[in-house]
Amino acid sequence: MSVEPGPSEQEDPAVANFLPPVPQVVLDRHGGRVLNPEEVWVARGWATPRSTVYKANSLLVPQRIVGQVVGAFNDNEGTNESGLMLTVDDRTPELGEYTAGLPRRVTVRRSEAPGANVVIDSWVALQYLRESSGLDRAIAEQVTVEHLMFAGALQGSPWGVPWGVPWGVPWGVDWPGSSYLQGSSGPRPVSLVMAPPPPQQVDRRPVVAVLDTGLDPHPWFGLVDRSTPLPPDGFLLASKDLQPPNLPDPWAGPAVDNPLIGQIEPAAGHGTFIAGLIRQTEPSSRVLVVRVMHNDGIAEEADVAYALTALADRVDKAQRAYAAASTTKEKQAAAKHMVDIVSLSLGFFADSTPTSGTFLIALTEILEKLRKLGVLVVAAAGNDSTTRRFYPAALADTPTTCPGAPQVVSVGALNPNGTEALFSNGGGWVVNWQLGGNVVSTYPPLNGAQEADFDVTDRREGLDPDDFSGGFAEWRGTSFAAPLAAARLASAIIKDKSLAEVDTTTTIARAERARKELK
């Protein structure tokens, strides 16, 4: 389902710089800062930025130029005036031929020079690099701030206000009397009386990589606890090789942040909920779990970029091995490492524009690599009731340099009655719409500190709002519309006669056929 183009960012400055308020506790947790275009210094000859949220202590620099950039900044008399220095994060592993383009996290710190008592701010460091480092502009344009990315689910906040992605109430527009604001924005416990749907027999089960909060034990996936290994032919897959250095394993982080309060984190169970939706929609697919998001609903751009690059490396190796295979058994072994779809229920508002030389260089380069390999990329449109472009979903109308390669699929949320959800972002860049309002899926069997609204005896009480011991919940957000689109793409792939073949040419053609069928 497509929509008519909404108001243009270029026509409405209020939309172009729209940014919901971000809770300070969220910024403090991740060293984040809000960029206000009216207040920041901009290097001479560079465009005024747009509002965004970024990490104040790091920049992203492609591996191919990281030594040149760090050397130019630290050894230059002009940049030394900033009182700041750059240090390369050396924990990033090699990723074959994809290493050169991998965005490296470069830490911004105070200079060791006496009296260098300055505020660490990566935006300030970036402006000094652009204006005073002596680097060619073509090099400087490849250095960017590291954005904070937010989960595309409406969340109940432990800080007393609803927030989602970015922050859970429709700040983009004023909707008087909206039922959207009634009740909890976060997950609510429900009962689901059904067994997990069984897979059908197929030549190869398509794989959907879900970059999210990671694995939680749940009976639907054959995971009793964290010590249980994944079933070898089960629905879920995981690989530590795909995990970013900051998040070395695929298991979800702590579901309760403060044990004294016992409040469940806003995005706890987010990835588990998504996996359950895919299981319900296309049980013959498999979900490859990659943890990039914390349970507060925040993902850091460098972690997401690493995971996407590692996925591209995995697919490339699988396709090369398939092309080199001489027997059916060898081809099947190679195909087991294939990834067909990437589902991203996260995003951010960018500080640059498509006409800028600095426009999302790291993200667009990585997604282009995946698209050239025939991997379908599905991304949530965000939940702010705005037409401001939310990335990576808004790359859906960005042409690829590889003829025939599939476009990014951006997904908005529908209500149960099929109307567009009030909370969903929209505009001409949203190309597909799926159910995202009050859907039901798997949720970790957690029990938070809130109490039932009415308790008569030990056996009778009202609904306990954060007792999820039944293992299922109702939730809403474009976070859940996106994996439904991914699952339906997997269904289209299963019906394709070329399912068992994973060479690059066949994969690209099959992915494009599936995308067109979805649209």
Q: Read off the CATH number of the domain in which 207 is found.
A: 3.40.50.200
Return the pLDDT at 179. Answer: 36
Do 74 and 166 belong to one domain? Answer: no
Tell me the C-alpha to C-alpha distance, in Å, between residue 54 and each of 44, 122, 141, 231. 21, 8, 17, 39
Do 286 and 413 belong to one domain? Answer: yes
Model pTM score: 0.92
Give the tens place of pLDDT for each residue, 64-94: 999 999 999 999 988 988 999 999 977 777 7
Bridge partners of 455, per DSSP, are 461
Return the pLDDT at 1. Answer: 34
Do 385 and 256 belong to one domain? Answer: yes
Do 212 and 104 belong to one domain? Answer: no
Return the pLDDT at 206. Answer: 98
Tell me the C-alpha to C-alpha distance, in Å, between residue 52 and each of 149, 173, 477, 494. 10, 18, 21, 39
Do 157 and 262 belong to one domain? Answer: yes
Do 123 and 158 belong to one domain? Answer: no
In terms of residue numbers, what domain contains 376?
Answer: 150-183+202-452+471-518
**2 belongs to a structural domain:** no
Domain count, the chain: 2
Return the pLDDT at 455. Answer: 65
Return the pLDDT at 9. Answer: 54
**343 belongs to a structural domain:** yes
Return the pLDDT at 167. Answer: 38
Return the pLDDT at 16. Answer: 85
Do 131 and 243 belong to one domain? Answer: no
Return the pLDDT at 165. Answer: 41
Do 289 and 411 belong to one domain? Answer: yes
Do 280 and 383 belong to one domain? Answer: yes
Do 278 and 384 belong to one domain? Answer: yes
**462 belongs to a structural domain:** no
Return the pLDDT at 93. Answer: 77
Collect contacts of 354-359 with beta carbons under 8 A, ≥24 apart. 354/398, 356/47, 357/137, 357/138, 357/141, 358/141, 358/142, 358/144
Do 513 and 372 belong to one domain? Answer: yes
Residues 32, 34, 38: CA angle, nearest 5 degrees = 155
Number of residues written out for the chain: 519
In this prediction, the residues of the chain whose per-residue pLDDT falls under 50 are: 1-7, 157-183
Handedness of CA 143, 351, 292, 207 (dihedral sign): negative
Bridge partners of 148, per DSSP, are 300
